[in-house]
Amino acid sequence: MSAVTTGAAPRVALVSGASRGLGLAVAERLLAAGWSVGTFSRSSTDELDKVLENWPDTFSWTPGDVAKDDMRQHVRTLQERFGPVDALVNNAGVLHQELFLTMPEQRIDELLAVNLAGPARLAQACARQMSVRGRGVILNVSSINSLRGFRGVAAYAAAKAGLDGLTRSLARELGPAGIRVNSLVPGYFETAMTSQVTDENRVRITRRTPLGRLGTTDEIARVATFLLSDEAAFITGQTITVDGGLTC
Ligand SMILES: NC(=O)c1ccc[n+]([C@@H]2O[C@H](COP(=O)([O-])OP(=O)(O)OC[C@H]3O[C@@H](n4cnc5c(N)ncnc54)[C@H](OP(=O)(O)O)[C@@H]3O)[C@@H](O)[C@H]2O)c1
């Protein structure tokens, strides 16, 4: 973990949607590695409050909605508290499993707004600040739904595939400004988002996973921390899948 801050002052990360699940695991890893971390989500959670208690000087949360707010304001709020943003983890997301033929049109708009348009606006707000300083890292949290077809997740999958396209294009555009951009592609992880998955399906996913088990949220957090660190200084424009081999 020490590699994260090697040769540099403690860094500042914005992790959207770190009130629970993968985002909170990433925030905790970064905090333990010496980063200052800001997050926002629509609501708070008990687990978030505990982490805020443990890291009162380096962790902050504000209420916010990635689909509706002015993302520049979230970046400004973080800058006022900890300084300019060195890294963005575009993690906030939402999944509604619903068949495409019967899905209300409005739901399609919502899924694209939270999982694609909002993250794109947040990436822009951060990248503008990073480009002035000539350095920065953006990590877009995608999904294996962007790589393989699954029933009932068409709009979500389209948004996540869009995020991967954003990653590659931004890597080209922002590389000369010293900004790296990658997608982190989780397989199946047990969080609030996947709480509707039945025991039967969980067993099926485990059986189809070459490593023969489900991953832990900390295994995502470790890869995220690596991709933000200087250890990954020559990695940009990539989609890094962490799924125990499920999609191989
Ligand atoms: N868990 C998995 O197996 C899995 C697999 C592939 C990809 N992912 C991706 O990983 C990311 C994290 O997922 P997770 O499993 O940790 O889900 P989660 O436990 O449901 O957490 C989602 C986080 O995003 C926040 N969020 C949702 N909508 C938001 C909005 N409109 N504005 C701001 N924050 C919002 C949530 O807080 P509020 O609801 O209070 O706003 C929460 O903090 C997502 O992008 C998801 O698509 C997860």
3-state per-residue secondary structure call for 224-245: HHHHHCHHHCCCCCCEEEECCC
CA dist., res. 180 & res. 240, Å (int): 14
Tens digits of residue pLDDT in 170-186: 999 999 999 999 999 99
Domain membership flag for residue 131: yes
> How confident is the model at residue 3, as a pLDDT?
40
Helix (H) / strand (E) element for 146: namely none
Parent domain of 121: 2-241
Active site residues: 156
| Structure confidence at residue 9 as a pLDDT band (50, 70, 90) | low
- Domain with residue 113: its CATH number is 3.40.50.720
| Structure confidence at residue 2 as a pLDDT band (50, 70, 90) | very low
Domain membership flag for residue 246: no
Q: Which two tokens stand for residue 142?
A: 């995608």
> Is the shortest distance between the CB of 186 and ligand 1 below 6 Å?
yes
Residue 48 half-sphere exposure toward CB, CA atoms < 13 A: 24
Helices within the chain (DSSP H only) = 21-32, 46-54, 71-82, 105-112, 118-133, 154-174, 199-208, 217-228
Domain membership flag for residue 212: yes
Domain membership flag for residue 247: no
Domain membership flag for residue 248: no
> Is the shortest distance between the CB of 55 and ligand 1 below 6 Å?
no
**Of 10-14, 35-39, 218-222, the least confident:** 10-14
**pLDDT over threshold 50, residue 126:** yes
> Is the shortest distance between the CB of 150 and ligand 1 below 6 Å?
no
105, 127 in Cβ contact below 8 A? no
| Structure confidence at residue 5 as a pLDDT band (50, 70, 90) | very low
Substitution candidate for ligand 1 out of 14, 20, 206 with most atoms within 8 A of CB: 20
Which residue CA neighbors atom 47 of ligand 1 most closely? Answer: 93
Number of domains in the chain: 1
DSSP for 101-113?
Answer: GGS-HHHHHHHHI
| Structure confidence at residue 8 as a pLDDT band (50, 70, 90) | low
Share above pLDDT 70 across residues of the chain, in percent, rounded to a whole number? 96
CA dist., res. 184 & res. 212, Å (int): 21
Domain membership flag for residue 143: yes
CA dist., res. 47 & res. 59, Å (int): 13
Distance 50 CA to ligand 1 centre (A): 19
> Is the shortest distance between the CB of 244 and ligand 1 below 6 Å?
no
Domain membership flag for residue 122: yes
Domain membership flag for residue 29: yes
Distance 91 CA to ligand 1 centre (A): 6
